[in-house]
Structure 1
Amino acid sequence: MNLLPSTQTLALPRELPQRQRLADELHARPFETLASPGRVLSVATLRTDAAQDALCLAHLAELAALDPAAGAIGGPTHQRLQWRGLRIKWERHTEFFSLSVFCEAAQGGAFDTAWLGVLPEGWLARLPGEMVSATLVALLPCAGEPPHVREVAPLFGSEPVVGNRVADGAATVVTDLRSVGGLTRYLVFDHALNRRRAGRTVQRLVEIDTYRMMALLSLPLASRRMGELGAEEAQLASLMERFRGAAEGDEALLGELVALAARVEHALADHGARFSATRAYAGIVERRMAELREAVVPGLQPLSEFLHRRFRPAVESCTATAARQAELSKRIARAAQLLQTRSEVERERQNQSLLASLDRRQGLQLRLQEMVEGLSVIAMTYYGVGLAAYALKPLAKALGASEAWVLGAAVPCVALAVVLNLRRLRRGLASAH
């Protein structure tokens, strides 16, 4: 079998413009290797706008400029450099920046930070953005069983500690998951980790702490919104009670309902993304915990159990707030639909009343028209007989007949002619329309 690298090239079809970037995405954030004894400090700061990206890169460039041997490599989303025995990795995420500093063969106590003294004074404090998490991991060699919890607990103070075996028993993790001096501290006893596995284990612990804090960013918002949602639901219930009682016009109810809907939709637009991010970050924490592959250590509460008991309820509270907010929006939409339906029914009833009134008016108008037509027949007959008398009187005298009888006989004839003429005019107008 030939195991030498190939020097041949193959002619392939034209590439998709983004193909190389997509193919390299799996390798965009590789794990750093680490050997015990080792220390890692990871700081995450919130990213509020794109302008901070340039500030972070300038901050790293400032450090690289102080030491030409720093050897900064990377791009706009990640940077790696060497600094006087330290390895520094910077990454840009969607909502935060992460800066990790790695040191091997660090001296001093497990959680001493003297090894960071080689950094320029105040350089860490000037990182752009507000700090959301700071994690300190100490990796110590431990050939046999880890020290008893009574020996480890004093490193964290008087608070109880949690931990377990990870990486299929190759290491033991102990922590109190508290922020002391701004730092959340993890102690990792290395039983049988190689450099790559140690780096992956430490990175997972850092990500658990960082994403845990990012997920909990919406907890204060959820607590505040719970109170507001109670008031909004009570207002909706009051509106529906007034709607059922029909004690006032729909216009007033609709105005209040629209104002309530506007408030709820504004809250949905403002907080929906935050609550969605909480669900996503909580999912990452769950996956990182699963990737640790825990095994219980006697005398220690498992880390996953502690997170499920404390962290999971907080996430579920945020999820419940988001669901309650969305459900309230749907209830308001249904209430508005009911109000609109009742308004449409009321309009239909008013339209029916208006049509009935128009029918009555048309009936009256028809009877008035018939009365006018009757009067018109009489008047036109009177004037027609008057006009005909000028011709009938000489004719009656010539025939020796009575003028009164001749005029009397002409009245029905004239009236009939007038009636027939009016009917013909009415039919002509009807056909025209």
Structure 2
Amino acid sequence: MFSSLNHPLREPLSKELHARPFLRIDGPATLSHLAIYSERDEEIHARLLATLTAAMGLPAPAPQHNHYTAQKGDWQIKWEKHTEFSTFTFVDTGAAGPQEELFRGAAMRDLPDSWLAQLKESVLVAVHAELRCGGDAEQTRKQVQALLPGPVLVGTKVLAGGEVYCDWLVHEDHFSRFLVLDLGFREAQAGRLIQRLFEIETYRMMALLALPDARRHSGFLGKLDASLSVFMRRMEQPGEDHDDAYLLRELTRLAGQIEASAGLETRFSASAAYEKLVLARIAELREERIEGFPTIAEFMQRRLLPAMQTCGSVWTRHQQSATRVARAVDLLRTRVNLAQEEHTTALLEGMNRTARTQLRMQHAVEGLSVAAISYYVLNLSGAALRALHAAHLSLDPDIFEGFLIIPVVAAVVLFTGRIRRLGHDEPQRAEHK
């Protein structure tokens, strides 16, 4: 009854804490670890697991699960699905043979060739690990230089009960090698240690995926900065409007190019996250120095940190370049807007001068119109007066016409002024409506 009160995510979130159990290894063992990464085929991880379990006669994996473990006699398999990659870890506790048999990949000996062929070019990490205990571990320690002939041999005491040796070299069989000596591990410590070592190598390689992109992008940023500097120098020089338009188009093109590469942010941020995981897993080893050997932390400090700093600096430079381009576009757009405003102001001033000239001409025409209308009115009045004089009316037409000049002109001036005021008032009334 109480189960009906639970939030639907309570059970899956609670199980998440136990979704990735550590390896449990009792006694000597040989192990192999593969990390599968493919940008083109997202379904390869589940497909490889399903194919392998069917070929090996193991229980089928549950759908939509990110973890799988199975055991067959002395041999066991562990599969984990991560965000970008999946890992296969094979453990064989019954194949601990003589020294010459170390790092022969006994844990992968029975894997079908058809399954291995499906891996194609998706293997990003391949590691063989050997766990030796007690007296066998003491004997194996004497053969470390022969087993790990790389130019840099890392050796360290871990977890206050064992030693780890590795050369971080991909050998002729295309596998790296870890040698783990159990000199007093407590229960389950060996499995946890080896899993951490596999995770360090896997996360290290995942972190380094950003390095080729950083190198390519650094060249792109160099060309972009050079082009931007040329455009900025041209902006400092006075030029024609069409030159500003050209610069604005080119700067916009640069902005588009740098925004098109903004997708690299996901790769660089993932690289930084993987670097933190590497450092966290190294800290969990609780290393102690073996005289004459660099520790894993020292090796990563010298070899991994510079690559990660390169990636970080390239992305910081990308952001700075994007800011510079955006600022240049804003400055040039402001200059273009100011130039357009100056042109608009000059155009309006020209229109004002034209309007004033037209107004003066209109006033002159109105003055001439008053004179012309008055002349015609006086002529008509004179004609009327002469007609009355011819009808024997006692008046002098010339004298009377002279008296009419001032009233007629005044009447015409008032009449034309009223017409002009009506013309000005009509648009204002239309706006109020």
TM-score by length of 2: 0.90
The structural deviation recorded for 1:120 is 2.7
Secondary structure of 1:138's match? strand
Choose the corresponding residue for 1:290, options 274, 277, 283.
Answer: 283
Choose the corresponding residue for 1:107, options 96, 99, 112.
Answer: 96
- Larger CA deviation: 185-194 vs 200-209: 185-194
- Larger CA deviation: 329-338 vs 74-83: 74-83
Aligned position for 2:431: none
Matches within 5 A, 1:126-141: 126-127=118-119, 130-141=122-133
Choose the corresponding residue for 2:410, options 408, 413, 416.
Answer: 416
Contact 1:396 1:406 in 2 (8 A): no
Corresponding residue pairs, total: 418
The structural deviation recorded for 1:416 is 0.8
- Is 1:157 the equivalent of 2:146? no
Contact 1:162 1:302 in 2 (8 A): yes
Contact 2:77 2:91 in 1 (8 A): yes
- Is 1:402 the equivalent of 2:391? no
- Larger CA deviation: 49-58 vs 337-346: 49-58
Aligned position for 1:52: 44
- Larger CA deviation: 360-369 vs 183-192: 183-192
Encode CA deviations 1:166-214: one digit per residue, 9 max, x unaligned. Answer: 11x1111111011112111111111222342211111110000001011
Aligned position for 1:90: 79
- Is 1:268 the equivalent of 2:257? no
Contact 1:268 1:326 in 2 (8 A): no
Aligned position for 2:70: 81
Distance 1:147 1:306 in 2: 26
Distance 2:356 2:76 in 1: 98
The structural deviation recorded for 1:256 is 0.9
Aligned position for 2:245: 251
Contact 2:386 2:397 in 1 (8 A): yes
Aligned position for 1:4: none
Secondary structure of 2:377's match? helix
Distance 2:389 2:325 in 1: 91
Distance 1:246 1:272 in 2: 38
Aligned position for 1:348: 341
Q: What amino acid is aligned across from residue 86 of structure 2 in structure 1?
A: F
Aligned position for 1:123: 115
Runs of 5+ in structure 2 lacking a partner?
Answer: 428-433
Contact 2:128 2:178 in 1 (8 A): yes
Distance 1:409 1:125 in 2: 125
Aligned position for 1:210: 202
Secondary structure of 1:33's match? coil
Distance 2:321 2:82 in 1: 33
Aligned position for 1:198: 190
Q: What amino acid is aligned across from residue 273 of structure 1 in structure 2?
A: T
Q: What amino acid is aligned across from residue 326 of structure 2 in structure 1?
A: A
The structural deviation recorded for 1:127 is 3.3
Contact 2:48 2:115 in 1 (8 A): no
The structural deviation recorded for 1:13 is 6.2
Secondary structure of 2:170's match? strand
Q: What amino acid is aligned across from residue 79 of structure 1 in structure 2?
A: Y
Aligned position for 1:6: none
Aligned position for 1:389: 382
Secondary structure of 1:178's match? coil
The structural deviation recorded for 1:79 is 2.0
Q: What amino acid is aligned across from residue 16 of structure 2 in structure 1?
A: E
Choose the corresponding residue for 2:233, options 216, 241, 249.
Answer: 241
Q: What amino acid is aligned across from residue 152 of structure 1 in structure 2?
A: V
Choose the corresponding residue for 1:230, options 216, 222, 229.
Answer: 222
Contact 1:153 1:160 in 2 (8 A): no
The structural deviation recorded for 1:395 is 4.8
Distance 1:54 1:145 in 2: 37
The structural deviation recorded for 1:141 is 0.9
The structural deviation recorded for 1:58 is 2.9
Distance 1:363 1:272 in 2: 61
The structural deviation recorded for 1:17 is 2.4
Secondary structure of 1:118's match? coil
Distance 1:296 1:145 in 2: 18
The structural deviation recorded for 1:267 is 1.4
Distance 1:90 1:144 in 2: 29
Distance 1:30 1:75 in 2: 19
- Is 1:177 the equivalent of 2:168? yes
Secondary structure of 1:134's match? strand
Contact 2:48 2:118 in 1 (8 A): no
The structural deviation recorded for 1:250 is 1.0
Contact 2:54 2:60 in 1 (8 A): no
Choose the corresponding residue for 1:41, options 18, 29, 32.
Answer: 32
Choose the corresponding residue for 1:28, options 19, 28, 39.
Answer: 19
Distance 2:192 2:204 in 1: 18
TM-score by length of 1: 0.90
Distance 2:142 2:70 in 1: 39
Change (3 A) 1:246 1:63: farther
